[in-house]
Amino acid sequence: GALGGLGLGLWRRRQQAAMAASEEDEAEKKEEEELRQRFMAPPVSGLRELRRRRRELRSRMELLIMETQGEVCRALAALDPGASFAVDTWERKEGGGGISCVLQDGEVFEKAGVNVSVVSGLLSEEAARQMRSRGKSLKAKDGKLPFCAMGVSSVIHPKNPHVPTMHFNYRYFEIEEADGTKQWWFGGGTDLTPTYLNEEDAVHFHKTLKEACDKHDLKLYPKYKKWCDDYFYIKHRGERRGIGGIFFDDMDSPSKEEVFQFVKSCAKAVVPCYIPIVKRHCHDSFTPEEKLWQQLRRGRYVEFNLVYDRGTKFGLLTPGSRIESILMSLPLTARWEYMHTPPESSKEAEILEVLRNPKDWVH
């Protein structure tokens, strides 16, 4: 009888274990389905692999950039129901790949792109030189530096000149040195480029980003706001690309987890800082002259991206990178006029004044 009882107990435990495993399988399938619905396409590393390594920061970052891409694309598509995102997945033979989501010629957005890339391989000599010039001491093994880089980046060019262009980018970088030690850092930011100045929009945008920063450290917003103003500077024009936001790079302290949580807060602030501005102005009336000024400002946007932007340069210098995705940030249309100068005291002159002398919007 006692032995029978033992057998029954073992059988019950096995039954319970089998039921628990089955429930776990169900929970896994449900979670995978939920993730699938939140993403625009299957992730580069594969859902199974990401779930298996979900405690690792690389996996958590990939999930974050995938979710951010989905959130932003859904928010933009809801404002431009006649248009849809072309979802383009691509592979890089040197390692990794990405997902480019691009909406073109909509009613509200002339061009909106949201890219995810997860790439790995060996750093090109030119890219390593660029990093060393920023103070990185990278010790290569036989001239080779294995790296892993991932990020989400987006540029949104609306049709209406009263709706600003917006850009954001959040990324993670890891390099393995000759002795096996890994260097890692995060970078990114969100910034606004209006054609015409609207103080209320500027305050809303900066305030939302400041709140995201303040959750982590009150020193971050002023520091990264200034960095943004300094970074998006078109030297040959003596003006900023837009009215700024936040920008940071090479962020590797206080700890991996704390920096990741900060980046997550910034990524989650993208939709609330921008979408209300689009809703407010996408049906504003505008004149042919205002459209012309938008085209001229777009020309400045192109100049900054092709001459100064570090991300564009890194992409162009990385073997096997996808040029279409790198140049997605360029507008569908832009214009360059010889010696164009707006009249004094005009709305056009007003925005130029702010681009030459950045303002503090939230104090």
Instruction: Flag whether pLDDT at 4 surpasses 70.
Output: no
Provide the pLDDT for residue 253: 92
The rounded mean pLDDT for the chain is: 90
Q: pLDDT (tens digit, 9 = 90+) per residue, 217-262? A: 999 999 999 999 999 999 999 999 999 999 999 999 999 999 999 9
- Whole-angstrom distance, CA of residue 132 vs CA of residue 123: 12
Provide the pLDDT for residue 140: 67
Instruction: Flag whether pLDDT at 94 surpasses 90.
Output: no
Q: pLDDT band at 71, cuts 50/70/90?
A: very high
Pair of tokens at residue 305: 């991206």
- Whole-angstrom distance, CA of residue 128 vs CA of residue 141: 13
Instruction: Find the mean pLDDT for residues 71-92.
Output: 94
Q: pLDDT band at 317, cuts 50/70/90?
A: confident
Report how far apart, in Å, the C-alpha atoms of 91 and of each of 85, 94, 315 are. 19, 9, 15
Task: With beta carbons less than 8 A apart as the criterion, state whether 134 and 117 touch.
Answer: no
Instruction: Flag whether pLDDT at 320 surpasses 70.
Output: yes
Q: Can you give the C-alpha Rg of the chain in angstroms?
A: 24
Q: pLDDT band at 345, cuts 50/70/90?
A: very high
Between strands 96-104 and 239-240, the pairing is unpaired
Q: pLDDT (tens digit, 9 = 90+) per residue, 14-38? A: 788 777 777 767 766 777 777 778 8
- Whole-angstrom distance, CA of residue 72 vs CA of residue 78: 10
Domain 115-150+163-354 has CATH 3.40.1500.10: yes
User: With the C-alpha atoms ordered 313, 316, 321, 323, is the resulting torsion angle positive or negative?
Assistant: positive
Instruction: Find the mean pLDDT for residues 323-335.
Output: 91
Contacts of 215 (CB under 8 A, 6+ apart): 265
> For residue 7, with 0-12 CB atoms within 10 Å meaning exposed, 13-18 middle and 19 or more buried, which class applies?
exposed
Largest CA distance in the chain: 102
Provide the pLDDT for residue 177: 74
- Whole-angstrom distance, CA of residue 258 vs CA of residue 269: 17
Task: With beta carbons less than 8 A apart as the criterion, state whether 205 and 154 touch.
Answer: no
Provide the pLDDT for residue 16: 81
Helix axes 270-281, 199-214, angle to 10 degrees: 170
Provide the pLDDT for residue 325: 85
Closest by CA to 282, choosing from 155, 108, 113, is: 108
Provide the pLDDT for residue 24: 65
Instruction: Flag whether pLDDT at 39 surpasses 60.
Output: yes
Residue 222: is the preceding peptide bond cis (ω within 30°)?
no
Instruction: Flag whether pLDDT at 136 surpasses 70.
Output: no
Instruction: Find the mean pLDDT for residues 49-58.
Output: 88
167 is catalytic: yes
Q: Which of 157, 162, 167, 206 is catalytic?
A: 167
Provide the pLDDT for residue 6: 62
Instruction: Find the mean pLDDT for residues 37-50.
Output: 90
> For residue 280, with 0-12 CB atoms within 10 Å meaning exposed, 13-18 middle and 19 or more buried, which class applies?
middle
- Whole-angstrom distance, CA of residue 211 vs CA of residue 208: 5
Phi, psi of 271 (to 5 degrees): -60, -50
